[in-house]
């Protein structure tokens, strides 16, 4: 028997929110109507889909499997609606871009600006999070473009190289390393406090792998969840860090930070774009994709 899509939508909303009352608010229906619809749907599919608990509901194993398919189905429905609205020269619609922190803050502002000038009636939404969170948003069909700093291992995603990025050691202007006239002996880092991003950050993973490959093991580390905050901490003398060169130009020009080369160490990472196999790309996403490709090509030729 074909699934009743109306009842499937009721169930999927309850499963996503964990609440009959919240689902009723979202769907503009009464709570009794939602409850009856879910019961009818469970009878139709022949199994229990939700476990009722004192603080809400939780999908059963069968419910989790069905909810995943439902989210994919309704994401395709939204994509179809967006595409139909946007086909008239992109004069309406929405583009949701997800990017990890460094990319969002320093690398795609010009692309976003150009896209807005070319398509001013398309609503732009930029979501900034770490690499793992951006991957999860793409898996949940909550963004159309996903740009991340670190490798992502997930069978449900395709990771394509987007552009390269060089990472360098930065120190405060008053740090002893700032006066170095030659590349720094890597062993001198062992006595420093190395400031790192939070777990889940692509920057942190790349730095940790590179240091391990060169046998560099700082005695102490300090974790800070923002590149901007790391730059301020380094400038204040709290430690040293290794960050993307794209993030420090302003502070280097002001004389608050100094880039320092490490002898025999060059950290260059690949930045990635994530996608889902078989996902239909909406016109707005395709237009933004063309801008990204042009920017990457220009950066590679510099």
Tally the domains of the chain: 3
| Interval 102-155: pLDDT, tens | 899 889 999 999 999 988 988 999 999 988 899 999 998 899 999 998 778 888
Residue-wise pLDDT for 171-217, tens only, equals 999 999 999 889 999 999 999 999 998 887 878 888 888 899 999 98
Residues 152 and 279 in one domain: yes
Same domain for 171 and 53: no
> The tokens 């002893």 sit on which residue?
176
DSSP bridge partners of 7:
none
> Quick one: how far is CA 138 from the chain centroid?
8
Q: Within this chain, do residues 94 and 12 fall inside the same structural domain, yes or no?
A: no
What is the CATH number for 58?
1.10.10.10
- Considering the domain architecture, whether residues 147 and 290 belong to the same structural domain is answered as yes
Domain termination residue (choose one: 34, 56, 84): 84
Q: Is pLDDT above 80 for 83?
A: no
Domain range enclosing 224 = 165-268
| Same structural domain, 121 and 264 | no
- Tell me the HSE value of 302 on the side-chain side, using a 13 A CA sphere: 10
Residues 76 and 197 in one domain: no
Do 129 and 78 reside in the same domain of the chain? no
Verify that 113 and 152 share a domain, yes or no: yes
Instruction: Say how far apart CA 193 and CA 223 lie, in whole Å.
Output: 10
Decide: 269 and 164 in contact? Cβ < 8 Å. Answer: yes
- pLDDT bracket for residue 288 (50, 70, 90): very high
Q: What are 221-235's pLDDT values in tens digits? A: 999 988 899 999 999
Residues 230 and 105 in one domain: no
Q: Tell me whether residue 138 is exposed, middle or buried, using C-beta atoms within 10 angstroms of its C-beta: 0 to 12, 13 to 18, 19 or more.
A: buried
Q: Which of 99, 163, 141 is nearest to 281 (CA)?
A: 141
- Of 127, 128, 135, 134, nearest to 227 by C-alpha is 128
Q: What is the pLDDT of residues 62-81, one digit of tens each?
A: 989 999 998 888 888 887 77
Question: Which among 64, 84, 104 is the end of a domain?
Answer: 84
> Collapsing DSSP states into helix, strand and coil, what is residue 191?
helix
Residue 182 and residue 153 in one domain: no
Q: What is the pTM of this model?
A: 0.62
Query: Same structural domain for residues 41 and 110?
Result: no
Final residue of a structural domain among 57, 84, 111: 84
């Amino acid at each position: 028997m074909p699934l009743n899509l109306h009842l499937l939508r009721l169930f999927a909303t309850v499963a996503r929110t964990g609440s009959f009352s919240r689902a009723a608010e979202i769907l503009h229906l009464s709570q009794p109507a939602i409850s009856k619809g879910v019961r009818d749907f469970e009878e139709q599919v022949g199994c229990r889909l939700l476990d009722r608990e004192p603080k809400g509901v939780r999908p059963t194993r069968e419910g989790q499997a069905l909810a995943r398919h439902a989210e994919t189905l309704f994401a395709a429905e939204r994509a179809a609606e967006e595409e139909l609205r946007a086909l008239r020269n992109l004069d309406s619609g929405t583009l949701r871009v997800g990017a990890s922190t460094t990319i969002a803050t320093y690398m795609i502002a010009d692309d976003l600006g150009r896209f807005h000038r070319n398509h001013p009636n398309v609503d732009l939404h930029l979501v900034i999070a770490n690499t793992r969170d951006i991957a999860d948003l793409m898996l949940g069909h909550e963004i159309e473009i996903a740009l991340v700093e670190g490798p992502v291992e997930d069978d449900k995603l395709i990771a394509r190289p987007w552009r390269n990025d060089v990472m360098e050691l930065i120190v405060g202007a008053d740090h002893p390393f700032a006066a170095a006239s030659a590349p720094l002996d890597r062993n001198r880092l062992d006595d420093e406090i190395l400031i790192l991003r939070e777990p889940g950050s692509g920057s942190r993973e790349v730095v940790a792998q590179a240091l391990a490959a060169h046998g560099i093991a700082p005695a102490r580390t300090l974790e800070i969840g923002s590149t901007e905050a790391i730059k301020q901490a380094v400038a204040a003398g709290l430690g040293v860090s290794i960050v993307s060169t794209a993030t420090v130009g302003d502070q280097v020009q002001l004389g608050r930070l100094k880039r320092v080369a490490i002898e025999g160490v060059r950290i260059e990472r690949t930045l990635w774009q994530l996608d889902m196999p078989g996902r239909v790309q909406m016109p707005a996403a395709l237009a933004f994709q063309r801008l990204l490709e042009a920017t990457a090509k220009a950066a590679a030729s510099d």
